[in-house]
Amino acid sequence: MRNILLVAKREYLEGVRGRAFRMSTILVPVVFAVIIAVAVFAGKNSGVGKHVLIATTDSNLAADIQSQLTDDKDSKTTVDVIVPSSPSERDSLVSKVREKEIDGLLWIDTAVPSKITATYISTSSGDIVIGSRLESALNHALAAERLSARGMSKAEVELVMKTVSVDTMQVDKGGKEVKSSGIGAYLKGYIMGIMLAMTTMIYGMNVARSIIQEKTSRIFEVMLASVKAGDLLAGKLLGIGAVGLTQLAIWGVAAALLAGSAFAAPVLNGQLSIHLSITEGLLFGAYFILGYLLYASLFAGLAASCETEQELQMYTPLAAVPIWLSFSLIWLIINNPSSFWSIAASLFPATAPIVMMLRMGAQTPPAWQFAASLAIMVVSVWAVLWVSARLYRVGILMYGKRATLPELLRWLRYS
């Protein structure tokens, strides 16, 4: 045990004293903040400042749409209306779009009142935001017009058309309703999932890199004369894992300080409010440790059977497949966190850590699923460690040639 701790201490100190640790501790949150800021800025400015031309024979309808679009001050949309005399004018209006005189043309054909059609023509096919604004304004105007046509007064139409926003509440374990933000909860699960994926990958890879470097620098033989191979691997996993936990703790404390500051209040209020309970924090820690141990021991076995860092890099994308698989399930999990596939993925050890984080964002899974997934992970970590320790013990002293599959199987049989 003493030697395991000595090796762990060495790995830990080398890790936290390294430039890579300092840089990633500072840069990762900065990069995250920049990505979020860019996404928020891009979202706010998407579809803003457009110049749209509405062409329809129904001038009232056009005026109604125009007033709705111009009333929305945030959209800063310039709307012109044209009442064409015939469909043949369409081509000349489309050419204005092509010449970029206007950003888009909304052509509304009201010739048959029961079968009104509308087309938005622009040079950009991905103009989703403005398209959806136009659709909403058109339908609102049409509904209002139809209600007026049935004898409703303007006040009555306004009352009927008044929209209501839905507040989302979540029932907690004590049966109490607590305000919840769908986007905030989604963000929480997503951020926790990404942080877990990133840290397990980075530190799992660090274990592999450390093994390859020791293998190429031939230090193993000196170490093995004083430490058992299993203790050496255990110390390495502990030390590098502790570096990861330290980094997460720094980010956690910094995030807590930032979240409590006046600076963050406007960002974290309302839809983006994120609340992390102590249980969620503890579960995050538990899944980090088990996820890290699973991937790190897998990478350790892989590294011990490789000859160079380049060779190792060839295999690592394969080892990371479950992490990417977890993220590909994100829509399924957010929309249906209790489906069979969501539960199966949260019990499968390779995807469990990230899927559980995503599920916790959508809906806290029942306790038995946490217990089962953690238990399955513990058993899997033990099994992978068993295999990796054997590959490690033999592989670290094998130099000169790449191990073949039959050789790897033989290594597993060595006592």
Partner 1 sequence: MPVVELASVTKAYESKVAVNNLSLSIEAGQMFGLLGPNGAGKTSSIRMMMGITMPDSGQVNLFGKPFERKSLERVGYLPEERGLYKKMKVIDQLIFFGELHGVSAADAQTRAVSWAKRLEIADSLTKKTEELSKGMQQKIQFISALLHDPGLIVMDEPFSGLDPVNATLLERTLLELKDQGKAIIFSTHRMDQVEKLCDSICLINKGQAVLAGRVREIKSRYSRDRVIMEFEGDASFLQSPEIAEANNFSGHAEIQLKPSGDAQKLLHEAAAKATIYRFELVEPSLEEIFIQTVGGKADA
Query: Which residues here bind partner 1, judged by CB under 8 A?
Result: 3, 6, 10, 14, 18, 214, 217-228, 397, 399
Give me the least distance between CB of 242 and partner 1, in Å please.
17
Q: How far is the CB of 297 from partner 1 (least distance, A)?
A: 22
Q: Which is nearer to partner 1, 9 or 275 (CB)?
A: 9
> What minimum distance in Å lies between the beta carbon of 228 and partner 1?
7
Helices (H) and strands (E) in the chain, counts: 18, 6
Closer by beta carbon to partner 1, 146 or else 218: 218
8 A C-beta contact, residue 122 and residue 104 = yes
Q: How far is the CB of 400 from partner 1 (least distance, A)?
A: 11
Q: Supply the minimum distance, in Å, between the C-beta of residue 415 and partner 1.
A: 8
Answer positive or negative: Cα dihedral of 314, 315, 317, 318.
positive
- How many CA within 13 A on the CB side of residue 113? 7
Q: What letter would DSSP give residue 87?
A: G
Nearer Cβ to partner 1 (214/309): 214
Nearer to partner 1, 305 or 342 (CB): 305
d(CA 8, CA 246): 14
A 10 A CB-CB count for 33 gives 11
Least CB distance to partner 1 at residue 3 (A): 6
What is the spatial distance between Cα 30 and Cα 277, in angstroms, rounded to a whole number? 24
Q: Least distance (Å) from partner 1 to the CB of residue 245?
A: 21
Q: Which residue, 14 or 145, is less far from partner 1 as judged by CB?
A: 14
Give one DSSP letter per residue of 200-234, joined into a string: HHHHHHHHHHHHHHHHHTT-HHHHHTTS-HHHHHH
Closest by Cα among 312, 140, 133, 295 to 215: 312
Which amino acid would we find at residue 358? L
Distance CA 172, CA 412 (A): 48
Q: Closer to partner 1 at the Cβ: 10 or 98? A: 10
Rounded alpha-carbon distances, angstroms, from residue 158 to 43, 65, 153, 163:
29, 15, 9, 10
Closest CA to 290 of 351, 365, 358, 366: 351
- Residue number, 203 or 370, with CB nearest to partner 1: 203
The first and second tokens of residue 359, run together, are 């599920």
Nearer to partner 1, 360 or 394 (CB): 394
Nearer to partner 1 by Cβ, of 222 and 367: the residue is 222
CB 109 within 8 A of CB 116: yes
> 3-class DSSP state for residue 169?
strand
Kindly report the backbone phi and psi dihedral angles of residue 384, in degrees, each rounded to the nearest multiple of 5, phi listed first: -65, -40
Q: How far is the CB of 24 from partner 1 (least distance, A)?
A: 17
Tokens 């001038």 belong to residue: 59
Q: How far is the CB of 392 from partner 1 (least distance, A)?
A: 14
Q: With respect to partner 1, which residue has the nearer C-beta, 232 or 352?
A: 232
Sequence-distant (≥ 6) Cβ neighbours of residue 67 within 8 angstroms: none
Report in angstroms how near the CB of residue 410 gets to partner 1 at its nearest.
Answer: 8
